[in-house]
Amino acid sequence: MEYLQISEKEMNGYVLLNVTGSITTYTYTDLQDRLYSLIETTPVCVNLEKVDDLTSAGLGSLLATLELSIEKEHALYLLNPSAAVRRIIDLTGFLDDFNVISSIDEIEVE
């Protein structure tokens, strides 16, 4: 069974989501709902270091959140995407569209 664990931490000027597991057709809605809710009011950093699988449904939810973040003028950061996640985003040509960072020190808050 696929699982997705999401923990949320309030930081100084943004919210950090630590995600573990697989972002797939069966699990992406949990992440998408949380992201949509948060990005309405604050910048969000999603730590993808412990994500072992990202399907088209998961990528679609990240892209939809990116569009919403632009509309709401709240940044979306992808922190340390695992090799599997980075490969999927890169192969689909969307890697340059995201703010991919390797440290929370790279987050710019206003």
Extents of the domains making up the chain: 4-104
Structure tokens at 14: 């943004």
Is the pLDDT at 1 greater than 60? The verdict is no
The Cα–Cα gap between 70 and 56 comes to 21
From start to end of the chain, where are the E strands?
4-10, 15-23, 44-54, 76-79, 99-101
pTM for this model (two decimals): 0.95
Decide yes or no: CATH 1.10.3210.10 for domain 4-104.
no
Residue with token string 């998408």: 32
**Over residues 2-14, mean pLDDT:** 95
**Over residues 73-94, mean pLDDT:** 97
Q: How many CB atoms lie within 10 A of CB 39?
A: 23
Q: Please check whether residue 44 is in contact with residue 77, taking contact to mean a CB–CB distance below 8 angstroms.
A: yes
Q: What is the pLDDT of residues 22-81, one digit of tens each?
A: 999 999 999 999 999 999 999 999 999 999 999 999 999 999 999 999 999 999 999 999
